[in-house]
């Protein structure tokens, strides 16, 4: 019986891996400038893994963060980072800069 | 200042909770304050080092340096906790009995304290490096030093106070259950860390997500709330976990539990409850 459970788990896992691999990644670039995201509204395809490239043009570090996307990553001063998200269901996914919450706000729209 | 204090508080809170659990788990060890203190100090120094090399780490491993770094740090902490938990399962019962019969916090022999020093250091390092980067950014961004220093002091004080409160809460647990509780807490701590490590590896596209969000309990208990964050630090609560996080959580917890069961048989003579007062 344990073997059966293991086999089923393996099947489910390989299914997920296969479907994730089949969908091609989309890529989106966001710039941080004066502690603001540009563009502040980004549209990405739903149901696909998305590669977010975030470039910080400020001289201070920022932290890209989103509760809805469950992501968090420091963007060094004048640095560039990559964050993978999704595949997302259609909807709005707000994100923000944790080090400058008042100004650094944006939203990812999956459709 | 309030904004600075809140961010510092959130980071310090997570580390402080972990330190509290470790401190509780080392109850009865006379030198534990020195060990845990050394862990905190090493963590702070490490945090400054990591913050200073944030640019280097960010560019390493084709931009995935931070995720690999965080995942490595988390897995290292998981391994140390597992080692300690399994060790404690073997010796904890005897220790609790000794403490009960002698009615004092006696020295109860060696424990893998180095493992716990590393757990403390890594927790402080991870949360601390973000605090340092944030404070750099604030100072460079024109915040007055009074705001930065005041916010930092308030945040650290608040986070530490919460940790101390948890510690004294744990001390209220009756001594014969004490190490069972701390050991299970350590197990959940490790499971939560493994889940976080998995999240970093999904973020870096190293691991498949097995479903990017298997549930969303943010309406019931948000990640942003103090309770949500506390549970995140202690038992790995995540309002929107990926499938692989759940898998890592369960597998890690199960492996440690099995390890505790396999190697954690009570030694001869130590029968737990109802044992004679004196040997």
Q: What is the CATH number of the domain that holds A82?
A: 2.60.40.420
Q: Is residue A77 part of a domain?
A: yes
CA distance B276 to B167: 30
Instruction: Give the model's pLDDT for residue B266.
Output: 55
Answer whether B278 touches A (CB < 8 Å): no
Domain of A75 in residue numbering reads as 24-110
CB of B258 closer than 8 Å to CB of B212: no
SS3 B214: coil
Q: Is residue A86 part of a domain?
A: yes
Q: Is residue A49 part of a domain?
A: yes
pLDDT beyond 90 at A29: yes
Q: Is residue A89 part of a domain?
A: yes
CA distance B159 to B81: 22
Instruction: Give the model's pLDDT for residue B274.
Output: 41
Burial of A15 from C-beta contacts in 10 A (0-12 / 13-18 / 19+): exposed
The pLDDT tens digits for A47-56 are 999 999 999 9
Q: What is the pLDDT along chain B (279 residues), one digit of tens a residue?
A: 888 999 999 999 999 999 999 999 988 888 899 999 999 999 999 999 999 999 899 988 888 999 999 999 999 999 999 998 888 777 766 777 776 666 554 455 556 889 999 999 999 999 999 999 999 888 887 788 899 999 999 999 999 999 999 999 999 999 989 988 998 999 999 999 999 999 999 999 999 999 999 999 999 999 889 999 999 999 999 999 999 999 999 999 999 999 988 876 655 444 444 444 443
Query: Do residue B211 and residue A16 have CB atoms under 8 angstroms apart?
Result: yes
Q: Is residue A15 part of a domain?
A: no
Largest CA distance in chain B: 67
CB contact residues (below 8 A), chain B span 128-187, against chain A: 130, 133-134, 136-138, 140-141
Query: Do residue B223 and residue A67 have CB atoms under 8 angstroms apart?
Result: yes
Please state the ipTM of this predicted complex: 0.79
Paired with A71 in beta bridges are A66
Q: A4: Cβ–Cβ under 8 A, 6 or more apart, which residues?
A: none
Phi, psi angles (nearest 5°) of residue B207:
-115, 150
Closest alpha carbon to A44 in A97, A87, A104: A87
Nearest to B136 among A61, A87, A88 (CB): A61
Instruction: Give the model's pLDDT for residue B62.
Output: 87
Q: Is residue A6 part of a domain?
A: no
Closest alpha carbon to B73 in B118, B32, B18: B118
CA distance A82 to chain B (A): 6
> How confident is the model over A7-35, as a mean pLDDT?
73
Chain B residue whose CA is closest to A70:
B240
Chain A residue whose CA is closest to B212:
A86
Q: B198: Cβ–Cβ under 8 A, 6 or more apart, which residues?
A: B71, B207, B242, B244, B245, B247, B248
The pLDDT tens digits for B132-150 are 999 988 888 778 889 999 9
CB of A107 closer than 8 Å to CB of A95: yes
How far from the centroid of its chain's Cα atoms is residue A55's Cα?
A: 14
Query: Do residue B137 and residue A67 have CB atoms under 8 angstroms apart?
Result: no
> Element (H or E) spanning B189, and its range?
helix B175-203
CB atoms within 10 A of CB B36: 22
Burial of A3 from C-beta contacts in 10 A (0-12 / 13-18 / 19+): exposed
Q: How many domains does chain A have?
A: 1
How far from the centroid of its chain's Cα atoms is residue B143's Cα?
A: 31
SS3 A34: coil
Encode A62-89: b = buried (16+ Cβ within 10 Å), e = exposed. Answer: bbbbbbbbbbbbbbbbebbbbbbbbbbe
Query: Do residue B137 and residue A99 have CB atoms under 8 angstroms apart?
Result: yes
Q: Is residue A105 part of a domain?
A: yes
Instruction: Give the model's pLDDT for residue B269.
Output: 44
Query: Do residue B58 and residue A79 have CB atoms under 8 angstroms apart?
Result: yes
Instruction: Give the model's pLDDT for residue A12.
Output: 64
Residue of higher predicted confidence among B1 and A19: B1
Instruction: Give the model's pLDDT for residue B273.
Output: 43
CA distance B194 to B198: 6
């Amino acid at each position: 019986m344990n073997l059966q459970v293991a086999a089923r788990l393996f099947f489910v896992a390989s299914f997920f891996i296969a479907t994730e691999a089949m969908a091609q990644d989309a890529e989106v670039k966001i710039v941080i400038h004066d502690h603001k995201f540009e563009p502040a509204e980004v549209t990405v395809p739903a149901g696909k893994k998305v590669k977010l490239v975030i470039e910080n043009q400020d001289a201070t570090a920022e932290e890209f963060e989103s509760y809805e996307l469950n992501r968090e990553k420091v963007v060094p001063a004048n640095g560039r980072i990559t964050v993978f998200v999704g595949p997302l269901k259609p909807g709005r996914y707000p994100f923000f800069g944790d080090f400058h919450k008042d100004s650094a706000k944006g939203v990812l729209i999956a459709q | 200042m309030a904004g600075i204090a809140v961010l510092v508080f959130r980071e310090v809170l997570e580390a402080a909770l972990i330190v509290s659990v470790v401190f509780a788990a080392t109850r009865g060890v006379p030198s534990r304050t020195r060990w845990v203190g050394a862990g905190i100090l090493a963590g702070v120094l490490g945090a400054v080092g990591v913050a200073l090399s944030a640019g280097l780490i960010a560019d390493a491993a084709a931009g995935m340096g931070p995720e690999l770094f965080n995942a490595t740090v988390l897995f290292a902490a998981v391994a140390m906790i597992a080692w300690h938990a399994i060790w404690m399962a073997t010796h904890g019962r005897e220790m609790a009995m000794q403490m009960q019969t002698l009615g004092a916090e006696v020295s109860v022999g060696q424990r893998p304290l180095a493992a716990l020093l590393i757990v403390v250091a890594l927790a402080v390092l991870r949360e601390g490096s973000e605090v340092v980067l944030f404070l750099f950014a604030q100072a460079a961004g024109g915040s007055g030093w009074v705001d930065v220093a005041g916010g930092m002091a308030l945040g650290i004080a608040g986070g530490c106070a919460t940790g101390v409160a948890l510690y004294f809460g744990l001390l209220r647990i009756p001594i014969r259950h004490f190490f069972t509780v701390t050991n299970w807490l350590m197990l959940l701590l490790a499971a939560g860390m493994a889940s976080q490590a998995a999240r970093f590896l999904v973020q870096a596209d190293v691991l498949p997500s097995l479903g990017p969000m298997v549930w969303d309990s943010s309406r019931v208990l948000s990640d942003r709330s103090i309770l949500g964050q506390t549970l995140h630090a202690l038992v790995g609560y995540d309002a929107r976990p990926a499938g692989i996080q759940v898998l890592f959580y369960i597998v890690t917890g199960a492996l440690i539990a099995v390890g505790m069961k396999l190697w954690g048989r009570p030694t001869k003579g130590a029968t737990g409850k109802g044992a004679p007062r004196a040997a």
